[in-house]
A and B are shown apart, each in its own frame.
Chain A
Amino acid sequence: MAEPGTRIRGGAQQASQRGTEESPLAKWVLIAITLAFCFVFLLLPLLNVFAQALTKGLGHYWQSLAEPDSRAAIWLTLVVAAICVPLNMLFGLAAAWAIAKFEFRCKSLLITLIDLPFSVSPVVAGLMFVVLFGLQGFFGNRLAAHGVKIIFAVPGMVLATVFITFPFVARELIPVMQANGTEQEEAALTLGANGWQTFWHVTLPSVKWGLIYGIILCNARAMGEFGAVSVVSGHIAGLTETMPLRVQVLYEGATAASTAAAFAVASLLALLALFTLGVKCLLEWKQARAERLIVARVERS
């Protein structure tokens, strides 16, 4: 009696497993393909950056970073990011406040326009600023008469980078602020807080992780932007070269030493990418933990 029963149960178990899960063989083949693909396409390019940067030894690595033109490129990259990120952060906060806390007509049009820079090729973005401020451009003659240089100078590079990184902070903040609603702010105002106090003590803390994430993404893109900046920079060594442009110049040097130097500068940018990924993971982990805590609290009560 017992024997057929167990057989039936075993059979049913097998069937249900076959029904909603692949056979172990298929499963492990898929996992193996995925691992192989990620190894070749994601891990190898990353490891290659550091391996190539160090082919000529640690001494050459430091030397290529300490070289005046490379140092100037690192400095300019930091300066451009230091101007762009706060500007776009301010914009992101203002846009998110207006869009998330108020109702008005054409809201979705405004959101589409804010996302516009994402769908424009970086080269076309750079071209837009050349058309405005270049010598043949709309304001070119007037600017030249006053001795103001925007294209083939740092201001143009800043403008192009601001354009490219324009949506990052706003995009992260708008959904978070919308999800938070307006009740807390209204409560704060009812209790006598003024607008700034409400923003500073109620709104800002509740969106801080979204804000940090937006800033990190904006910063990574600002430091790494190549196409748009390349079009407006003029590639003057020591003056209008950011790190990605410096990488190109060194790579085109085509000697083993200059290729290693290109990879040395590139390795700093790769470290920036790893840092960005690390912060992203940390924020996701924090968010998941916060959600688990809320679920646990609800279950307990």
Chain B
Amino acid sequence: MVRQKHRVLPGFGLTMGFTLFYLSAIVLIPFAGLVLRALELSWADFWHLATTDRALAAYRLTFGASLIAAVANGVFGSLLAWVLVRYEFPGRRFIDAMVDFPFALPTAVAGLTLANLFAANGWLGRYLVPLGIHGAFTPLGVVIALTFVGLPFVVRTLQPVLQNMEREVEEAAATLGAGRLRTFVQIIAPSLLPAVLTGLALAFARAIGEYGSIVFISGNLPFKTEIAPYLIVMRLEEYDYTGAIALAVVLLCFSFLLLGAINLLEQWASRLHRSA
């Protein structure tokens, strides 16, 4: 009955047909191609190609730097969301708009300008390099670029949750004699945790695949500042297709694991929201 009522509208066949055709042509077939080529490899070959010393060093940097950047985003992103939602101050709307800047800015430009800022003669490097803080061409540079790229995720995930939060619970806690800090730690923080973790996981997932900004700031030294996506590009330039495919499969597996984790986190967040 419901089904029939909806089918009153025309165009299902046309739009669905085009959707499936376009999805297959652009996404599914290229995807299947990569998977088929990966399946041609024997398990031993795959393992050998995916776990060379250089690849392991690249994974370590990619995942390590992405994790540090995601945690940094968790801290600063939460602070930013809190300040933007709870306080009135001059420049609030400007900063709110600027939070999306890392989304809008092409990653190559982000990498270019960050590398320049933190280089020895840059606006920030000028003061930081004499202190021994090298932000360009080091693993720290990778963390900086990934933090920039992932910044909007935590803020934009947390903001609506903070906006919809009932102030009554906080008032009740205060009436019952809890200090502000205790209210925050015991009442506010637990209800924000799923949203913060979701944002953090989104930033982490984005960081793992990031390429454009890192190329400029890291220096791309094998074993030192080379990330996994860059190693894929190197393998391709050597026409080592199978090597590139093996690394790509590892990255894809991690992306999908994270995608699953993000879905679980979102379910947790919406359950908490509904019961609250």
Within 8 Å of chain B (Cβ to Cβ): is A182?
A: yes
Q: Is the CB of A199 within 8 A of B31?
A: no
Interface 0/1 of A124-151, CB less than 8 Å to B: 1101111110101110000000000000
Question: Is residue B107 within 8 Å, beta carbon to beta carbon, of the partner chain?
Answer: yes
**Which residues of B have CB within 8 Å of A91?**
18-19, 22-23
**Most A CB atoms within 10 A — which of B15, B26, B100, B244?**
B15
User: Is A38 within 8 A of B109, CB to CB?
Assistant: no
Contact of A127 among B11, B171, B244 (CB under 8 A): B244
B110 touches A45 (CB 8 A): yes
> CA separation between A45 and B122, bound complex, in Å?
11
Q: Are B106 and A45 in contact (CB under 8 A)?
A: no
Compute the total of residue contacts between A and B using a CB distance below 8 Å.
281
Most buried by B among A123, A199, A225: A123
Does A166 lie at the interface of the complex (its beta carbon under 8 Å from any beta carbon of B)?
Answer: yes
**Are A30 and B87 touching (Cβ within 8 A)?**
yes
B44-52, B191-199, B249-257, B268-276: which one contacts chain A? B249-257
> Hey, what's the 0/1 contact readout for A20-44 against B, CB within 8 Å counting as 1?
1111001100110111011011111
Choice from B95, B124, B151, B178 contacting A34 with Cβ under 8 Å: B95
- Contact pattern, B 74-105, Cβ under 8 Å of A = 1, otherwise 0: 00100110111001010100010111111011
Minimum CB distance partner of A19 in chain B:
B174
Given contacts A16-B171, A127-B34, A227-B212, A38 and B98 within 8 Å (CB-CB) = yes
Give the shortest distance, in Å, between A139 (CB) and chain B (any CB).
9
A65-122 residues with Cβ-Cβ distance < 8 A to B are 87, 90-91, 93-95, 97-99, 101-104, 110, 113-114, 116-117, 119-122
Q: Which residues of A contact B171 (CB under 8 A)?
A: 16, 19-20
Task: Report whether B212 and A45 are in contact in the complex, using a CB–CB cutoff of 8 Å.
Answer: no
Do A280 and B100 touch (CB < 8 A)? yes
Interface residues of B, dominant DSSP: helix
B76 touches A119 (CB 8 A): no
Query: Which of B12, B123, B216 lies in contact with A102, CB distance below 8 A?
Result: B12
The 0/1 profile, CB within 8 Å of A marked 1, for residues 95-131 of chain B is 1011111101111111011101100001110000000
A interface list, Cβ under 8 A from B: 15-16, 18-23, 26-27, 30-31, 33-35, 37-38, 40-46, 48-49, 52, 87, 90-91, 93-95, 97-99, 101-104, 110, 113-114, 116-117, 119-125, 127-132, 134, 136-138, 159, 162-163, 166, 182, 185-186, 189, 194-195, 198-199, 220, 223-227, 230-231, 243-245, 247-248, 251, 259, 262-263, 266, 269-270, 272-274, 276-277, 280-281
| Beyond A48-B117, A159-B26, 19 additional pairs, beta carbon < 8 A | A33-B79, A38-B95, A42-B98, A45-B148, A91-B19, A94-B14, A119-B258, A131-B37, A166-B27, A224-B108, A225-B106, A230-B233, A243-B106, A244-B109, A245-B108, A269-B105, A273-B106, A273-B109, A281-B97
